[in-house]
Amino acid sequence: MVKLSVIVPFHNVRPYASDALRSLRANAGDSGGSGTTGPPEIEFVLVDDCSTDGTQDLLERAEKEIPGAVLVRHGRRRGVAAARNTGLDAARGEFLAFLDGDDWVAPGHYRDLLAAAEALGCDFLRTDHVRCTGRRRTVVRVPHGRRGTVLDPRDAILPAHRTTSVDYAYAWAGVYHRRLLERGLLRFDEELRTAEDRPWIWRLHREAASFAVVGLTGVFYRRGVATSLTRIGDERQLDFIRAYDRLVEETSRDPDAAALLPKAVRTYCAVIHHHLTSDRFEPHVAKAVRARCAAALRRLPGDLVREALDSMDAERSARLRRLRRRPVLSPGLRAKTTPEAAR
C-alpha cells in the first residue's frame, strides 16, 4: 500500500535535477519497510512539464532506478500548477507531499514526515525548511509558535498585522491527507503562472479542519535559480495580481470575512509594495506593474486599504498612497482621478 506520494514537477532544470533525484533515491530506502520485498510505501510522481534541455533523460533513468518512481509527461508546457495537478491525479498515497525539481531533501526526511503525519492524524502538517543561496544555508521557520499540537487552521490566519501561517505559502513545506484532495482543496489554479500557492494556502487554512506544525528541516530550497519565475521579470509575474484578487474574492465570501479580510488586504498591499520596489522587471513590464497595482489598490475596499496603509511604516504607506491616487486614463485618454482614490 502506498502511504505517501511525493509529487515533483520538472521543467528544464537539468543542472539541478540530479540533486533532487539523488535525494529521492536516498529516501526510497525507507519506502519498502525493514527488509521487506513488498511494494514501496513511498512513491515519487515525477512530472516532466515538457522539458527540452535533457531533463527528460534524467527522469527516464530515475524511473528505472529509484524504487517507487513513476514518470508522467506533459505533451506541452503547462506550468507548475498544472504539473502539480497532474501529479495529484496520478498519486495513490494516503498522504501527499510536493517538491520542486530544483530543490532536494535530506535522507530519511519523508520517513520522518510520514511518521509525524500518522501520529498527529490532522488534515495537514507544515514544516520548516532550509533556504540555500549559493553556499549559504538559513533555516526558515513556519511563523507559528506552537509545535506538535493539532490546531484549527483558521486560528493561524490572524492577526492581520503580523506574519502568520498563511504568509508561509510553500506547498513543499508540509504533507497533506488525501481527504483534502477528495474535498477539492489541494488542486492549484492552472490559470496562474506564478503565486499559485497564495490562494491555495489561504483556502487550506479557511476550509481544512485541522493542522499542525512540526520542527522538521529536511527540505532544502534553492534560491537564485536563473530559470525560476522568482528570478524572471517578464509578464508572467503579473499573475500575482490575479492570485491576490482571487484570494481576496474567496475570503470575502467566508462567514468570517469581516475578521479575515483586513489580513488579506494588508498582505496584498505589502506584496504590491514588494513588486513596486523590485529591480528584476523588464522596463515595459515595470510600467504595467505600476498601472495594474494602482488599479488593484482602487478595487480593494477603501476602508480596509486605508486601515492597512495606516498600519505600515511611513515609506511604504506613502508610496502606496501616491500610487492609489495615480490618475486613471479614460477611453479618450483624458486623465481623471476616481473619487475613492482621491480620499
Task: Give the pLDDT confidence score for residue 343 in this predicted structure.
Answer: 45
Structurally, the chain folds into a number of domains equal to 2
Residue 342 CB contacts under 8 Å (≥ 6 apart), including other chains? 325
Last residue of a domain, one of 201, 223, 245: 223
* pTM flag (> 0.75): yes
What is the pLDDT averaged over residues 58-67?
97
Q: Are residues 57 and 130 in the same domain?
A: yes
Domain presence at residue 164: yes
**Residue 67: Cβ-neighbour burial (10 angstroms; 0-12, 13-18, 19+):** middle
Domain presence at residue 228: no
The alpha-helical segments, DSSP class H, found in 99-238 are 109-120, 178-182, 197-207
CA distance 21 to 66: 8
Q: Are residues 157 and 282 in the same domain?
A: no
Domain presence at residue 334: yes
The DSSP annotation for 3-33 comes to -EEEEEEESS-HHHHHHHHHHHHHHHTTTT-
Contact between residue 174 and residue 211 where contact means Cβ atoms under 8 Å apart: no
Task: Give the pLDDT confidence score for residue 340 in this predicted structure.
Answer: 45
Buried b (16+ CB within 10 A) or exposed e, 130-148: bebeeeeeeeeebebeeee
Cα–Cα distance list, 139 to 14, 102, 128, 217, 221 (Å): 26, 18, 7, 7, 10
Q: Are residues 212 and 299 in the same domain?
A: no
Last residue of a domain, one of 179, 200, 223: 223
Task: Give the pLDDT confidence score for residue 283 in this predicted structure.
Answer: 85
Query: Mind listing the pLDDT tens digit for each residue in 291-304?
Result: 999 999 999 999 99
- Which range among 51-65, 154-168, 179-193, 276-290 shows the weakest confidence by mean pLDDT? 276-290
**Cell numbers standing for residue 318:** 506613502
Q: In this structure, what CATH number is given to the domain that contains residue 70?
A: 3.90.550.10
**CB atoms closer than 10 angstroms to residue 276:** 17
Q: Are residues 196 and 315 in the same domain?
A: no
328-329 vs 335-336, strand pairing mode = antiparallel
Q: Are residues 241 and 327 in the same domain?
A: yes
Task: Give the pLDDT confidence score for residue 232 in this predicted structure.
Answer: 52
Domain presence at residue 241: yes
Q: Are residues 174 and 253 in the same domain?
A: no
Q: Are residues 211 and 305 in the same domain?
A: no
- Residue 314's domain spans which residues? 235-342
The alpha-helical segments, DSSP class H, found in 92-149 are 109-120
Query: Mind listing the pLDDT tens digit for each residue in 39-62?
Result: 689 999 999 999 999 999 999 999
314-324 and 302-310 helices, crossing angle to 10°: 150
